[in-house]
Amino acid sequence: MLWVCSYSQTVDGFWVMNGAIESLDDSTADERLGSSVLDMGRVSRLGVPTPTVAELSRPAPVVVAAGLRSYGVYLKGLRSVSVQFGVNSVRVVPQRNGGTKEGLVPIDHASVDLESLEPAIVGAGVRASLAEAI
């Protein structure tokens, strides 16, 4: 299962899931995967209100969508990439799964810069970076 999630940056500068989530089958074509990733980038926002402590203590939207009991269960076995959008480019950064202690840690030396917003190219880049994620 592939979970494609969107994050928004708060006024205090940190990133939070904004609730936009799509689940795709592992065998989903690169073009469809890339379209989903690009859609999530379009709903990402800067300067959203910082969540309250009560809001942050709620389960992450992807945990709820996946029907899991905790973020720790979600992290178990997770492979993840971060996607950063430029004007006409995308950077895909595989992440190391550090569990509940460290969270998801960027593997910057394995990042891939895509000079295209074509869905099939973005999807192929994300899939290749997922293979590098540990």
Q: Provide the domain limits for residue 91.
A: 2-132
Residue with structure tokens 């910082």?
50
pLDDT in tens, 59-88: 999 999 999 999 889 999 899 999 999 999
Give the CATH number, domain containing residue 65. Answer: 3.40.1590.10
What is the chain's length?
134
Range in 3-12, 46-55, 68-77 with the lowest mean pLDDT: 68-77
Indicate the pTM of the whole model: 0.93
Mean pLDDT across 93-105: 95
Tokens 């494609």, residue? Answer: 4
Range scoring the smallest mean pLDDT among 19-23, 72-76, 108-112, 113-117: 72-76
Q: What is the pLDDT of residue 129?
A: 97
* Number of domains into which the chain is organized: 1
| Whether pLDDT at 2 is above 90 | yes
Mean pLDDT of the chain: 95
